[in-house]
């Protein structure tokens, strides 16, 4: 296979991502939440691509689009490739979707090489947690970790998760059927790094060794709404002021704890008026660390800080945890194969942790999992300026070709 052919494939991958970015809930920017109308457009487009490659295609009850290639003489177990197709609001074109479009090209390479390797490609319906504020709905179902209690979740319009699934002409009672069987070799996800490390080292790709643990919580500070002009400062129970004090404590703790990442990215205020003291302030908390003990200790400390601040200010405090995801190591064998493939294509073997969560960490609870990162120019992601370089996509295709050949030889 010529480099020219790989260049053409790389251009096609990028063009596909940009085309899918136009399938959006909003004009002139990319926003695509779980099972909204644009997801139907993405499904139709990807289904056509999958069927053109000879795949058998279905949509499971969690809204994951799944294509299966079963070549003659294939080993009984299959390799799974894929990533997610939902986005954050006002997203870039490559987060998640790149992993699906690259997977389609990896499959085409396997077909051209006549590898006796069964491959399933999954376009996960939800990873970002935007619509229902709980992430990984798609991969949870595939990994057999979907809690039926999640069906009661409501979005901002009051639509339950169960109803959203029904509105997509799917049956939530069949979500259990989405879980993988035992005939799986492993799962590989290709994804942009979403950070600056590869660019700082002048590298195209890296194999992920582990995904850091994550905790996500919501804290609600409750005070008393009152008139701003008539309530003396010392008699106020200002929920927003309490939340603001706590937010600075969150930043301070993260800055002073090695390896800790802590973010308050969302805040809601009631009644949210300029001349009314805030009666309620809800704030998100996102905590990440490669060491689970350090992460959980940080959560406990910051909750204690929130309670101390609330008591001092006469506020009530309630909190709930949406996520407690341990750090997840990637499969050593599959990761080694990715490293060997890099070397075989003349690239430097690079391994690194992922500071962001990915479907691979959910899938790793069920099957051996690995990840291939591609450089993020400028370290930019979750932003319209997010992009990839053609040379890096070409490198990922080259690595994929060698990886598939190595894996196929191993399972014969």
Any idea what DSSP says for residue 276?
A: B
Of 371, 288, 297, 291, whose CA–CA distance to 323 is shortest? 288
DSSP β-bridge partners for residue 319: 219
> Which pLDDT value is given to residue 325?
82
**Contact (CB, 8 A) for 104 and 92:** no
What sign results for the dihedral spanned by CA atoms 244, 250, 253, 254? negative
Rounded Cα distance, 124 and 367, in Å: 16
C-alpha 371/C-alpha 190 separation (Å) is 6
What are the φ/ψ torsions at residue 314 (nearest 5 degrees)?
Answer: 70, 35
**What's the pLDDT at 69?**
97
Q: What is the CATH number of domain 213-325?
A: 3.30.70.360
pLDDT score of 244: 98
| Residues near 278 by beta carbon (within 8 Å), at least 6 away in sequence | 223, 225, 238, 239, 240, 241, 269, 270, 271, 272
pLDDT tens digits along 186-233: 999 999 999 999 999 999 999 999 999 989 999 999 999 999 999 999
288 or 2, which is more confident? Answer: 288
Tell me, what's the pLDDT at 74? 87
Label residues 281-302 b or e (16+ Cβ within 10 Å = b): bbbbbbbbbbeeebbbebbeeb
Q: Is the pLDDT of residue 3 over 70?
A: no
Asked whether residue 412 carries a pLDDT value surpassing 80, the answer given is no
In CATH terms, the superfamily for domain 3-212+327-411 is Zn peptidases (3.40.630.10)
Question: Per-residue pLDDT for 1 more than 80?
Answer: no
Average pLDDT, the chain: 96
Average of per-residue pLDDT across 330-351: 97
> What ranges do the domains of the chain cover?
3-212+327-411, 213-325
pLDDT in the model for residue 323: 87
**C-alpha to C-alpha distance for 399 and 358, rounded to whole angstroms:** 20
As a whole number of angstroms, the distance between CA 341 and CA 406 comes to: 8
pLDDT tens for 301-331 read: 999 999 999 999 999 999 999 989 889 999 9
3-state helix, strand, coil split of the chain in percent (to 5) is: 40, 25, 35
- The two beta strands, 351-354 and 205-211, are parallel
Region 66-84: mean pLDDT is: 94
Q: 152-189: buried (b, 16+ CB within 10 Å) or exposed (e) per residue? A: ebebeeeebbbebbeebebebeebeebbbeeebbbbbb
Cα distance between residue 305 and residue 246, in whole Å: 7
Rounded to an integer, what distance in angstroms lies between the CA atom of residue 67 and that of residue 239? 50
């Amino acid at each position: 296979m010529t480099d020219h052919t790989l260049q053409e494939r790389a251009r096609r991958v990028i063009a596909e991502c940009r085309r899918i970015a136009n399938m959006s809930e909003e004009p002139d920017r990319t926003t695509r939440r779980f099972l909204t109308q644009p997801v139907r457009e993405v499904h139709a487009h990807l289904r056509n691509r999958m069927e053109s490659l000879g795949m058998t295609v279905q949509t499971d009850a969690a809204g994951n689009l799944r294509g299966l290639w079963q070549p003659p003489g294939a080993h009984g177990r299959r390799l799974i490739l894929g990533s997610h197709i939902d986005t954050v609001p006002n997203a870039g074109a490559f987060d998640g979707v790149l992993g699906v479009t690259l997977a389609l090209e990896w499959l085409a390479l396997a077909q051209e090489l006549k590898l006796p390797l069964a491959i399933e490609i999954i376009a996960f319906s939800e990873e970002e947690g935007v619509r229902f504020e709980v992430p990984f709905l798609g991969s949870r179902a595939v990994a057999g970790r979907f809690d039926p209690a999640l069906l009661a979740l409501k979005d901002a319009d009051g639509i339950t998760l169960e109803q959203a699934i029904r509105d997509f002409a799917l049956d939530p009672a069949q979500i259990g059927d989405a879980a993988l069987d035992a005939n799986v070799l492993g799962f590989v996800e290709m994804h942009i790094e979403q950070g600056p490390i590869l660019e700082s080292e002048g590298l195209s790709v890296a194999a992920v060794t582990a995904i850091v643990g994550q905790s996500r919580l919501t804290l609600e500070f409750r005070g008393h709404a009152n008139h701003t002009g008539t309530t003396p400062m010392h008699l106020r129970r200002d929920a927003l002021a309490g939340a603001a004090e706590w937010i600075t404590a969150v930043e301070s703790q993260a800055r002073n704890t090695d390896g800790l990442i802590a973010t308050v990215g969302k805040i809601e205020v009631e009644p949210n008026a300029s001349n009314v003291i805030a009666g309620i302030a809800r704030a998100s908390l996102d905590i990440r660390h490669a060491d689970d003990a350090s992460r959980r200790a940080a959560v406990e400390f910051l909750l204690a800080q929130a309670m101390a601040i609330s008591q001092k200010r006469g506020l009530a405090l309630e909190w709930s945890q949406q996520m407690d995801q341990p750090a997840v190591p990637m499969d050593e064998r599959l990761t080694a194969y990715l490293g060997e493939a890099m070397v075989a294509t003349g690239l430097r073997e690079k391994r690194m942790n992922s500071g962001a969560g990915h479907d691979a960490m959910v899938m790793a609870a069920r099957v051996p999992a690995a990840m291939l990162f591609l450089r993020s120019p400028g370290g930019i992601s979750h932003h319209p300026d997010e992009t990839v370089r053609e040379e890096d996509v070409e490198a990922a295709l080259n690595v994929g070709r060698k990886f598939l050949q190595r894996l196929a030889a191993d399972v014969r």
